[in-house]
Amino acid sequence: MQHRRNIEIDVFQKSCGILALLAFTSADSVRDTFSTVYATVGHEAALHCSEATQDTITLRSWKINTGKGNTCLLSFSPVGNRTFSNCSKHLSWKHGHQMASRFINPVGLTDEGEYVCETASPSGVFRSHITLNVQVPPEVTLTSDGSAAAVCKAFRGKPAPTISWEPPCETCLAEHHAHLDKTVTAVSRYRSSSENETRVTCVVSHPTFLQRRQLAVVLSNKARGTWGCNPAFSIWFRASLVFILIAIFLGFITYWKYHKLRQCCKHTCSNNPSKCRGQQNPQVEEGGPYANCTPGPDAISI
């Protein structure tokens, strides 16, 4: 059964080739036209032959090349209204127009490529070269960490999305990350330098958008404390700093008083030995060598 099917296909292809050759030799010339059709992924794409759609055709065929060896053929002959196709089922034509139009529904990224419509008629051979370009709308997000920074992302768009900011930001250049399916993710970061609250808007442009996509967020430097810290950390840091400074000040005062007292006792004992008690063996006395030292009336008061 499969062998018989292969024979029928071979005979039909040879018949189409002979008809095309006869039409070509009887025509004055071959006319080529070139065009590009843009379609959005998930929607329908319509491809039309540009010439000889009203003439009595001898043969019409569609040759499709989507790259990486993915080729197929769809042909129509008015003799017996015979058709041949080895293309996918989602590739079809509009009935009643002798295959003058091709429809792809739904269109996907794998359908991108070159579609050639060849029409042989008594008036000549017309060949339409149509390049199908499939576009993918990106998904847009805008996030903020509650501080003076915002991140705008346009995920997996084809072609690459364009990001801008309002108010304008000359330093907010977008980063582009390409994916294997030919889509591109764009990322742009905005940091406000104003101390007041600032409303910034991320603007994303793309051929698949009827109008620009805009997302807004309010940024505030007040949400961050000392050295970019959050408020809780800022309060804790300031309290700790005050405590440390007070401890250092009290320690300095204590050391200064002890040092003055020691100097005073030395001076008193050296000038008036009778006023110093227990200095014969100062190391034995509890409390240090100046524990029993009583300053005289001429001692410096602290």
CA distance 2 to 49: 33
CA dist 291 and 171 (Å) reads 72
One domain for residues 8 and 110? yes
List the structure tokens of 150.
């915002």
One domain, residues 179 and 294: no
- Indicate if the alpha-carbon torsion angle 29, 30, 36, 41 is positive or negative: positive
The count of domains in the chain is 3
Domain-embedded: residue 267: yes
| Ordered alpha helix ranges (H), the chain | 2-26, 231-271
Answer for the pair 124, 30: CB distance below 8 angstroms, yes or no.
Answer: yes
Q: Name residue 171's amino acid.
A: T
Dig out the tokens for 103 from the structure: 């429809």
One domain for residues 288 and 182 = no
Specify whether 175 is located in the same domain as 95.
no
pTM over 0.85: no
Give the CATH number, domain containing residue 160. 2.60.40.10
232 domain residue, yes or no = no
pLDDT of the chain along its 302 residues, tens only? 544 445 445 544 544 554 444 444 444 578 889 999 999 999 999 888 866 555 577 888 889 998 877 788 888 887 777 778 787 766 666 544 567 788 888 899 988 999 999 888 887 888 999 999 999 999 999 998 666 789 999 999 999 999 999 988 888 889 999 999 999 999 999 988 777 778 899 999 999 999 999 999 888 766 444 444 455 556 777 788 888 999 898 888 888 777 777 777 766 666 666 655 554 444 444 445 545 555 555 444 44
Return the C-alpha torsion angle 154, 159, 160, 161, nearest 10. Answer: -50
- Domain range spanning residue 302? 237-302
Q: Tell me the C-alpha distance between 210 and 40, whole Å.
A: 12
Locate tokens 């190391």: which residue?
283
Indicate if 220 and 269 belong to the same structural domain. Answer: no
Q: Can you give the length of the chain in residues?
A: 302
Which of 103, 119, 135 delimits the end of a domain? 135
Judgement on whether residues 284 and 196 belong to the same structural domain of the protein: no
171/281 same-domain check: no
Strand pairing category for 124-135 and 113-121: antiparallel
* Region at 45 (left for phi over 0; alpha for psi -120 to 50; beta for the rest): beta
Quick one: 101 and 6 in the same domain?
A: yes
- Please indicate, yes or no, whether residues 214 and 102 belong to a single structural domain of this protein: no
My answer on whether 129 and 159 are in the same domain is: no
Using left for φ > 0, alpha for ψ between -120 and 50, and beta otherwise, residue 170 falls in alpha
CA distance 278 to 275: 10
